[in-house]
Structure 1
Amino acid sequence: MELTILMPCLNEARTLGVCIAKARAFLATHAITGEVLIADNGSTDGSQTLAVNAGARVVPIADRGYGAALRGGIQAAHGRFVIFGDADDSYDFSALLPFVEALRAGAEVVVGNRFRGGIGPGAMPFLHRYLGNPVLSWLGRLFFKVPLGDFHCGLRGLNRQAFAAVPLQTTGMEFASEMIVRSSLHGLRIREVPTTLQKDGRDRPPHLRTWRDGWRHLRFLLSFSPRWLFLYPGLAMILGGGALMLRLMYGPLPVAGVTLDVHTMLYAAALVLVGVQVTLFAIMARTYAITAGLLPADPLLKSLWQRITLETGLVLSAVFIALGVAIGGLAVVGWRDRAFGSIDPVDTMRLVIPSMLLLVIGVQGCFASFILSLLGLPSDQRRGA
């Protein structure tokens, strides 16, 4: 069988029959050997009986959620290719030929673009059309280098054999993001084709919740991009705070009529410290995600682990601690020169703050080295430990 046209369903009796009729007509018109499969997520309005009477196959999906329904439907599909879309008559199941042609040409994931194909009046809420979808699509392109203009179009196709290697876990609306992100990370060939979107035929509110599901999409994108969530912000804090702290070590800094001094230096040191912690989180998160199988192997990180061992981290941490002790020693020497009496705290803090920062980074580095060495072990060795 070449094609399965899959529709997730939860109480879609009003529009399900129309969608099935269009899908079956498409298969007949283009002489495609295929099936219409309904992944029912617990409908109580008779959708299952309606679907069977309309000529579709129904598979019940016990786990609730859009993602759960699609994952179960894809597993139950018989076709070499699977094209899925909502059963609310917002997508035209009689116009799937561009998806089929792209899959036949070698694409492993095909995503529709509603902005290129056309969006009917009232088909997409204002916030989705001009804020949510453009912003999340831009973040997807930025984080994962996926050249898609409509990251969350619900009409998609896939090569079932190639897609079987992609591990999927989400059960909600964020499945749309997970599918693209994981496909990209696993090197699948992704294409985009124009498609249309019309106002759905439901007589009830949609299952999608703007702010809740928008946040779930954003959370998923950030969680699967440790570089943008942790690494880049961490490095920016280190560079910005470090540059300001180094400048203030040499004396006050006048800026626009305001003089920055040791109080600002203390905040700059705190910024560096937070930046180091966040950067360590990036390395830990990436390492864990790879060893746990959530992300594919990273050749750069693998090469890094081959060169930087636990002992390397401990030695580097010891260097930071030694520098902190040395700079702190200079502050003590200055205090000794004043017979351990009263000193100017402003001048002393220019040495004490960097000393404290280096000591804390060194101690953190020691413990982080042990944690990273543990995370870098294969999962079976971690279980044995």
Structure 2
Amino acid sequence: MIRSCELTVLMPCLNEARTVQACIADALKYLATAGVDGEVLVSDNGSTDGSVELAQAAGARVVHAPRRGYGAALQAGIHEAKGRFIIMGDADCSYDFSQLQAYVERLRAGAELVMGNRFRGGIEPGAMPFLHRYLGNPVLSFIGRLFFRTSIGDFHCGLRGFSRDAVLRLGLVSTGMEFASEMVAKFALAGARIEEVPTVLRPDRRDRPPHLRTWRDGWRHLRFLLLFCPRWLFLYPGLLLASVGMLGFLALQPLFGLAFSMGSRVHTLLYMAAAIVIGVQAVQLALLTKWLGVVSGIVPEPPWLMRTKPLRTVETGLLFGGVLFLIGVLWSIGILYGWGSSGFGALNPAEGMRVVIPAVTLMIVGMQAVAGALFAGSAEICWRTVDRKRNG
């Protein structure tokens, strides 16, 4: 039976021969000095430079992550960790593993996630590229705070501690650098107790470029933030556009007596129709994105989605969209009948378009709803099938 302990210091490793032993020595020094029952665990991600042998010689336990990627290495380490708490950090000497007491104290006091804050703790000269320090990290951290209603000041600090049981309940799936964002987002969505401690960032001591790629990994972080919380990118703008379009439709009706000529009224009506269509598309995309995230296990199912489960059927979507489409078709038939009753004579384009535009808009929105319902149903069936094959 594997003996458990209080703390696992976890270090993902990919060709860190130059620095891994120094990091392990610092971590072991902390455990001995603080009297903490713990271990140092290195999760190797396919090193070919002797990092594994050096880590074992320095006193660390080594596990091998079968899949490549920062997140994959950390997931393997988390599952193999013996500690009740885990503190993770890169094995490149950018963080001081001998200074972990603040993390341990917060975890012992009940925090489920303890984030380091490099902006409060200090960033030594040369430790963080200018673009990361003044654009990437501040922008992504601001987006994270906005999306997930948390006060975390440094979303991407690599030194962080957490409860092993709590993190396993989250069902983390990312294999790349975006794993860092997924962890914070899921803890926040779960309503976990999250705290921060000042952390010093030092220049790493590697003799090679870092694994992090500024634009590629920055986009992957942003993409996952948007997937976890699509309301700011799609839902809110979509609702605003659709609302403006609907209000515009009403305001442009003759009974409101607005000072528009018929020609200008029709052109404005066309733009209002475009606002409705684009707005509905954005709202639908937000809902589908959230739904796909829930079905795939990337994000937890929010309460509002649980409450609307009886309405979230393919049949409901087909009925709603079909009714809108049918209204638009019947309206169009009525327009055609009225034209026929007048002998199919010459039409006043402005007057004709005033009634045609709403009818066509209903047809477009109805067909969007039908297509969205079919897509959601197909995606769920496909994902459930893949999941059964994977687990069976």
**TM-score computed with the length of structure 2 as normaliser:** 0.87
- Give the Cα separation in 2 of the matches to 1:12 and 1:382: 36
Q: Deviations over 1:137-167 (max 9, x none)?
A: 1111111223210000000111112222111
Q: Give me the whole-angstrom Cα distance separating, in 1, the residues matched to 2:170 and 2:323.
A: 43
The equivalent position to 2:88 in structure 1, one of 84, 91, 112, is 84
Residues in 1 aligned to 2:157 and 2:108: alpha-carbon distance in whole angstroms? 21
Q: Determine if the alignment matches structure 1 residue 166 to structure 2 residue 170.
A: yes
Q: Which amino acid aligns with 1:62?
A: P
Check conservation: 1:252, 1:260, Cα contact below 8 A: no
Return the letter of the residue paired with 2:89. G
For residue 346 of structure 1, the aligned residue among 347, 350, 370 is: 350
Q: In the alignment, does 2:139 pair up with 1:135? A: yes
Unaligned stretches of 5+ in structure 1?
none
Which deviations, in whole Å up to 9, do the C-alpha atoms of 1:240-265 show, x marking residues without a partner? 333344444549977xxxx9553443
1:198-277 equivalences under 5 Å are 198-250=202-254, 260-277=264-281
Is 1:104–2:111 an aligned residue pair? Answer: no
Aligned with 1:124 (options 123, 128, 136):
128
What SS is found at the alignment partner of 1:80?
Answer: strand
Aligned residue number for residue 324 of structure 2? 320
The answer to whether the Cα contact below 8 Å between 2:116 and 2:198 also exists between their aligned partners in 1 is yes
Which one-letter code corresponds to 1:162 in the other structure?
A
For 2:66 and 2:193, the matched residues in 1 are separated by: 31
Deviation at 1:336, TM superposition (A): 4.7
Shift in Å, 1:375: 6.9
Cα deviation for residue 14 of structure 1 reads 1.6
Deviations 1:255-312 (A, max 9, x none): xxxx955344334323321322232233333334334433323222222233676665
Q: Percent identity, please.
A: 54
1:18-59 Cα deviation digits (max 9, x unpaired): 211111111111111111111111222222222122221222
Task: Give the equivalent residue in structure 2 for 1:22.
Answer: 26
Q: How does 1:269-308 map to 2 (within 5 A)?
A: 269-306=273-310
Q: CA separation of 1:56/1:232 partners in 2, compared to 1, >3 Å: closer, same or farther?
A: same
Deviation at 1:105, TM superposition (A): 0.5
Q: Any idea what the Cα deviations from partners look like across 1:108-127, whole Å, max 9, x if unmatched? A: 11110001111111111111
Whether the 8 Å contact between 1:4 and 1:78 is mirrored in structure 2 is: yes
Task: Name which of structure 1's ranges 371-380 and 205-214 shifts more when overlaid on structure 2.
Answer: 371-380
The one-letter code of the counterpart of 1:196 is V
Cα distance between partner residues in 1 of 2:104 and 2:18 = 27
Structure 2 counterpart of 1:9: 13
Moved more, 240-249 or 214-223: 240-249
Assess if the C-alpha contact under 8 Å between 1:253 and 1:261 holds in 2: no
Q: Corresponding residue for 2:49?
A: 45
> 2:113, 2:161 within 8 Å by CA — same for their partners in 1?
yes
Deviation at 1:8, TM superposition (A): 1.1
> For residues 303 and 11 of structure 1, what CA distance do their matches in structure 2 show?
49
Contact 1:249 1:351 (8 Å CA) reproduced: no
Q: Alpha carbons of 1:253 and 1:66: their partners in 2 closer, same or farther (altered >3 Å)?
A: farther
Displacement, 1:136?
0.6
Q: Give the Cα–Cα distance (whole angstroms) in 1 for the partners of residues 179 and 264 of structure 2.
A: 49
SS of residue matched to 1:82:
strand
Q: Which structure 2 residue ranges, 5 or more long, are not aligned? A: none
SS in 1 for 2:18: helix
CA distance in 2, matches of 1:42, 1:15: 16
Question: In angstroms, what is the RMSD of aligned CA positions?
Answer: 2.9
8 Å Cα contact 2:172-2:298 kept in structure 1: no
Aligned equivalents of 2:163, 2:18: Cα separation in 1? 30
Distance between the aligned counterparts of 2:69 and 2:372, measured in 1? 38
Question: Is contact 2:11–2:91 with CA below 8 Å preserved after alignment?
Answer: yes
Count of paired positions: 381
* Aligned amino acid, residue 25 of structure 2: A
Distance 2:245 2:375 in 1: 26
Q: Which moved more, 1:339-348 or 1:266-275?
A: 266-275
What SS does the aligned partner of 2:12 have? strand
| CA distance 1:208–1:293, shift in 2 (3 Å) | closer
